[in-house]
Every structure is written in C-alpha cells, then in structure tokens.
Amino acid sequence: MDNLLRFKKDVQYDLLVPPLGFDFASMTPKQTRENFEWFISKIPERMDYFRNRCASDLNIPMEILDYSPDSLIPVWRWFLKIARIEKTPKDEVAEMERKVGHLGEHWIIRERLTVVSQFILRDIGMYLGETFIKTYISIHWDFFMKPKNEVSAKRPVLFGFVYVDPKDKSQSTSMPFDPIGILDYEGHKIVSKTQKETDLLDVFLERTKFVPVKE
C-alpha cells in the first residue's frame, strides 16, 4: 500500500517496463537476446513519447530534440525540472545501517530519486544512446555475456568505442558503454545537489574521446 501511495504522488509519466524485468544477472542467454530485441523494437515509439513529453513540458518545438549533442542541454534541463526526490523508507535505512553502519554515514542512502524519476532516466539513457548512434556511424546497440561480473553484462549497451594505448597506438581495446547505467550516477547528483544543466552533454563529450577517428 505504501508503494502504491508513493507512486500516485510521483510524476505522472508512462513507464516502459521490460517484460523480463531488470534482473539481468539471472537471465539466460535466450532471455538476454529476447530482452535486447524487445529493447531495440521499443526505441522508435518510446523516443516519440519521450520527445513529445519533454518538448511539451518545456514549451519548445519537438524538432529541437533532434538527437544532436546540443539537444542534450534541454533534455537534461527538463529532467532537473521534473525529477523528484523522496526519503528512503525507514525500514530500508535501518537495514543499511545494520549492514554498513560501521563504514560511515556516506554509505547510507537517506534520500533518493523516486521510482518514476529513475524510469525517466532510462528513457534519457536511450535518447543519449540514439544521439551517439546518429552522430557517429560506428556506434551501435548490442550486448555482451562475459565477463559475467561486469556490471553492464547482458544489458543493452553501445559498441564502437575504443581505448587506444597512448604509449603503443597499435594496442586498442573495445569499450562498451552503458548510457542508461551511467545516468543512474548522473541523476543522483540531484540528491547531493551537485547537478549542472550540462551534465548530460558532458557525458557525451567525455565519451566521444573514445570514438575512433578515421584518417
């Protein structure tokens, strides 16, 4: 009942809920493939909904949200405006105190983004991913299975980023990038009051350093 009341008080926003849930670690290879295909199939309609909602709330033409790097500024401005913070339920705080209290207050989350705010971040992550894809022909969605302990394993991520060893440029390593996962960190800057309107664009610009340059 408490969860239902919290949801009713939250931002009114249509949620995109994966049919297989978010427990990626327990997904079989077949389920991982099914989840990825579902994700890709939902991108066009989801981005239409997201862009319409964002443009309407900001009272700007939807054409401004054209997947350009510059469009990341109004997208993030909208999120900072619409996102909400809630107090972590007392029972969850007590459990954290029991588990990590000896490590210090830093590890206890007393405030957090609401559930709907976290779902909105997922849509923004999808938009960020599409911005990379439409900006750089080498970037594309895919997934990887191993190593299993990698936090982005089995999740839809972007491929095409490469780290080149500055000491030996013949040595390079693929660097899959999780645009949805990274926004969990960026979004929670609101809780710590360290957010900026350029946060989303900054993520984009930082990652572009690993897009191979064709000579």
pLDDT per residue of the chain (215 residues) written in tens, 0 to 9: 455 556 567 789 999 999 999 999 999 999 999 999 999 999 999 999 999 999 999 999 999 999 999 999 999 999 999 999 988 777 766 665 666 666 666 666 667 899 999 999 999 999 999 999 999 999 999 999 998 889 999 999 999 999 887 777 777 788 999 999 999 999 989 988 999 999 999 999 999 999 987 64
Residue ranges of alpha helices (H) inside the chain are 2-9, 29-58, 72-82, 90-100, 115-135, 179-187, 189-192, 199-207
Indicate the burial class of 49 (C-beta count within 10 angstroms; 0-12, 13-18, 19 or more): middle
Q: Are 18 and 35 in contact (CB under 8 A)?
A: yes
- Residue spans of the domains in the chain: they are 2-137+181-207
Contacts of 128 (CB under 8 A, 6+ apart): 72, 179, 183, 200, 203, 204
Residue 205 identity (one-letter amino acid): L
Tell me how far apart the alpha carbons of residues 139 and 107 are, in angstroms, rounded to a whole number: 36
Give the whole-angstrom CA distance, residue 199 versus residue 107.
23
Calpha distance 102→98 (Å, rounded): 8
CB 16 within 8 A of CB 123: yes
The amino acid sitting at 5 is L
Q: What does pTM read for this prediction?
A: 0.89
